[in-house]
Structure formats: structure tokens, C-alpha cells
Chain A
């Protein structure tokens, strides 16, 4: 009798234990989802709020109704901005600058990375470390001397280097090239050495080795580096704020901040629309190429 109850109890305990593992797992999953939802709300509130506001007319905004809801959705903010010449100029400036910077960055960094990863020359190891260190120097340390230097060049040669959007094409590579090179060195180093040797025996020169073997093989890395360069040059705020002032020379972020915010009369519907449109290109790229975006992000620290 006592034995059977003990056995039954033991069985029960055993089963209860077993049940509690899967229940514990389910509970852990429940709390994971619960907290993740809270974090997603925290992370997505600003962009969602941008979107809500962008659908409101100025009248609805100043009426101070429920800010989290749109009662009379309208696309007038979008139409206004997209037909406004000025906004389109910002957009054009941003687009040209970003595309040029991406092109320059890729050409410079692919050649340099190939040389540093594979060919080696006197001082190449030091240079690789130097590239990494350069990447760590922030633009907020460099903009003052660069500003002064450009002003000085203007004084001496007459080339107007301040207040032109294309000056940013010269400036942004300082932000993009070191990291892109670092990234490409990592990708190129991961290509097995035998591949070069096979190409060498097949009769390829160094340029052919780069264009016909390394670049095609490292395409994922190149896409990641391109995405990085694009987002950085699209998003930069400090350089254009310091170097450009005339309305027709501004790029998108600075244009929206400086021209739409006039004194204290905030046209918030338009500002939010502009901000959303300004955030759209990186977001679209991210949506389609998320894996490349993330691999570029994590490779910086893990590849080293």
C-alpha cells in the first residue's frame, strides 16, 4: 500500500517535472514575446508617429485632438512637398551626392583592400591598422579644420569650396572609405589563397585576378559596403550643416531641418512628411537587403 502510493507519487512527480519543462519553456516564450512587443512599441513609436502626423492637415494638428489618431487623413502634405521645387532640389542633391560617394568609395576601397589583403607592400600592415583607426576618428573632430582649410583654399586659388553641395562629395569619403576598406579587407582575406594561385597559373594578371575572381566572389561584401556608404552619406548632418547654407545647395536632412522649421511656427505635418521621405531610401534598401545590411554591420567588429 505504502509502496504503491510512493510509486504513484514518484510517477506523479516525474510527470509533473516533465510537464513543467515544456510549460517553463512556453512561459519563457510568452514573456519573451511580451517584452519584445514592449520594445517594439518603444522602437517604432517615433516612425509611426511621424506617419500619423504626416497624414494630418495643419488645422487638425493645431486643433490638439488625439495626437495618436488621424480623423481626416489627407495626402496634402505629400503632394505639397513633392511638387515643391525646393524639396525636390534637396532630394536631387542628396541623391547625386550619395551615388557619387558610393561610387568613389567602392573604387577606392576595393583597390586598396585588394592591395592590403593580398599583395602586401612595405608598410601595408601599418596602413591596414591605420585605416581602422581613421574610421574611429569622428567627423565632429574634423569639420572645423576642414572648414578652415577649404576657406583657405578659396582665398588662395579662388575655387569656391564652401556652400556648394558637391563639396560633400569630397568630404563624405572620409566617413565611408576607411570602414568600407576595412570591410573589404575582411571579405578578401576570407577568399582561399589557392584561388589566386589557380588564377595565376591560368594566366591572370593582378587586375584580372581582381576583376574576374575577387570582385565576383566578394559580391555580398561589396553590397554590404555599398549599403553602408549609401546610408552614411544619405544621413550625414554635420558636414552639410557646416559647409552649405544657401537653400538650393542643401541636402535632404539639413534642408528639412533648416527650411521647414521656420522660427517657432512649426509646420509639423510637412516636417514629419519630409522626415519620412528623407528616411525612406535607407528604409527601402534595408527592407530589401536586410541580410546584407546586417552582415555589414556585424562584420565591422567580428571580421577584424
Chain B
């Protein structure tokens, strides 16, 4: 009995102790604990390696000596490096532009269709994005096979001279970019389609009444309304394309004679196969500035979107 009474008295006292203020402080402690695994993953597996790679880039091959900018000086003197720079930029910029154009056009065609049929077409058109790129690149590799190329078979039957797809440096570059466009444009298509859907139909009707033709509607209404999405998608894709590894690795492995290497594949070849980790790290670090610029603009656009909403 006494026990019960004692407990009854204690309960209000205890709830009084836990003031709302303490409650709020405990809340932020719980919140921090909940976010802790995320913080740990980011800190240990992203932030730390990113800085560690800067440290690695300043060591000699056996990683026993600090050489400062030695690796970079060495790279600057090599022709292959400049070729990789050129190829990476060409690869990324060309591919992103074509992906954006193809995606934009296809999105408009899909948007033109009656709405009940759109789902089916959208479903088919996104398939290249769904297949793991390593797997689909294998199919392309087989399509471009030097002796059994299915494209060349068609060309022969049409009387067009055969093409040494991956054997000729220029064609090899073309192929690498083509496959990248194939993989990436469905993503643009989906993003642009979503953006198109958010353009109110009344705007088109108003423009039609104002006398705008089909092209003017796209130019004066769709493009400005979609600008933010177009920019964000292109910047995202620039990052992914610039850092691309799978396609080049499987399709050409950098060949013929290093003509198609990009930063990622060359860094891999140097570090893992050449066993020169510092040099590989130095090469991969060259991706950082472009990534940082793209990230800066994405963040700015995302923020702006957030403010609009």
C-alpha cells in the first residue's frame, strides 16, 4: 500500500523534471544518433578517401617518399596524359550534348502521344538505362566485333564499305560516345518528360491564341519552363559521364594505343594494373575540378528550385 502511494507521488515529480527544454535537447541528441551511421559512412568512406588520395598523389611509386608535385610534373610531360585530357573532355561534352538533344526530342514525341499510350512507349525507351551498363556494353562490343560485326553485315548487304569500329581510333571514339548516348539519353528523356508534364496546358493554349506555331511554343514556353531541369540533368550527366568507367573499360580498354582512355580508365590501368597507386591517384584527381564546378552549379540550381517551391 505504502508502495503504491509512493509511486503515485513520484510520477508527477518525474514528468516535471523532464522539462520541454530538456526534451528538446534530448530530441537533438536522438536525432544526431540517428544520423550517426550516415555521418560515419560519409566520413570514413567518402571524405577520408577523398583527402587521402591528395596525400597519395604526392608520394613516389613505392609510396616511401614525398615528392610534392612530382607526379603531376611527370604527367604534364607525357603525351598520353594530354591525350586523355582531350579525350575525356571530348567524350563528356559531346556525349552530354547529344544525350540532352536526343532526350529532349524523344520526350517531346512521347508527350505528343495520347496519354494512355505514353506509359508503354516510356517503358520501352527507358530500357537502356535499366540494363547494367557493363552488360549492355558487352552487347555493343559484340555488335562492333572486328570479324562478326552485325552492323558490317548489314553494310555489306547495302553495298557500304565495312567499318573497323573499334580498330580505328576515330571510329573507336565514335563508338564509345555512341554507346554512352545510348545508355544516357533515356534518363534525359524521363527527366524532360516529367518537366514537360509540369508545363500547364493553358500556357500552350494561350500561346496558340497569341498565334505561336509549334516551334515557337517549344522555344518560348517549354524551354524556359524546363530550363532548371534541363540544367540540373545536364550537370548531373556531365559528372557521371566525365567519371565514366564501365563503357570505355569494356568496349576499348583505352585502345587502340591509349586513344580512347578517359581519366577513370587510365587511372585504373596505372594504379591497379601498373601498380603505381600515386600516379593513378594523381590522374583521378584531375576529375575533381570539373566535378566541383558542376556540383557548384547543381547545388545553386537545386537551392533555387527549393526557394521557388
Contact = CB atoms under 8 A, between A and B. Distances in A.
Nearest to B29: A121
A108 B49 contact: no
B305 interface: yes
A144 B28 contact: no
Interface residues of A, number: 96
A272 B138 contact: yes
A141 B243 contact: yes
Contacts of A134: 42, 46-47
A181 B277 CA distance: 32
A53 B239 contact: no
A142 B35 contact: no
Contacts of A112: 34-35, 37-38
Contacts of B218: none
Secondary structure at chain B's binding surface: helix, strand, loop or mixed? Answer: helix
Highest count of chain A CB atoms <10 Å: which of B113, B154, B190, B284: B284
A275 B263 contact: no
B123 A290 contact: yes
A71 to B, nearest CB: 14
Interface string A224-250: 000000010011011001100000000
Given A43-B127, A140-B267, A149 B38 contact: no
Given A50-B139, A66-B153, A147-B272, A257 B38 contact: no
B193 to A, nearest CB: 9
Contact of A46 (B148, B154, B182, B287): B182
A119 B39 CA distance: 16
Given A32-B109, A46-B136, A124-B31, A148 B268 contact: no
A81 to B, nearest CB: 14
A282 B130 contact: yes
Contacts of A178: 42, 46
Interface string A102-137: 000001110110111001111010010111111011
B139 A241 contact: no
B249 interface: yes
A297 interface: yes
A132 to B, nearest CB: 7
B163 interface: no
A4 interface: no
Interface in B268-309: 268, 271-272, 277, 280-281, 284-285, 287-288, 291, 294-295, 298-299, 302, 305-306
A140 B243 contact: yes
Contacts of A256: 134-135, 138
A136 B142 contact: no
Secondary structure at chain A's binding surface: helix, strand, loop or mixed? Answer: helix
A166 interface: no
Interface stretch (B5-13, B50-58, B66-74, B165-173): B50-58
B140 interface: yes
Nearest to B306: A304
B135 A279 contact: yes
A296 to B, nearest CB: 11
Contacts of B272: 147, 241-242
A301 interface: yes
B186 A32 contact: no
A302 B229 contact: yes
Contacts of A53: 142
A17 to B, nearest CB: 14
Contacts of A242: 268, 272
B121 interface: yes
A299 B281 CA distance: 33
Given A29-B112, A140-B267, A119 B49 contact: no
A136 B291 contact: yes
Contacts of B142: 49-50, 53, 266, 268, 271-272
A140 to B, nearest CB: 4
A124 B113 CA distance: 44
A283 to B, nearest CB: 6
B128 interface: yes
Contacts of B106: 35-36, 39
A275 B139 contact: yes
Contacts of B233: 301
A131 B246 contact: no
A113 B52 CA distance: 28
Interface stretch (A72-80, A83-91, A167-175): A167-175
Contacts of B257: none
B83 interface: no
Nearest to B136: A46
A195 interface: no
A271 B106 CA distance: 31
Contacts of A266: 142, 145
Interface in B37-93: 37-39, 41-42, 45-50, 52-53, 56
A230 to B, nearest CB: 11
B101 interface: no
25 contacts: A28-B112, A29-B114, A36-B109, A36-B110, A46-B136, A46-B182, A50-B136, A115-B34, A124-B35, A133-B295, A134-B47, A141-B285, A145-B281, A171-B45, A174-B41, A237-B133, A257-B138, A266-B142, A268-B145, A268-B148, A272-B142, A279-B135, A282-B131, A294-B190, A298-B190
Given A111-B37, A237-B134, A298-B194, 7 more contacts: A36-B113, A43-B186, A64-B153, A111-B34, A137-B291, A171-B45, A294-B190
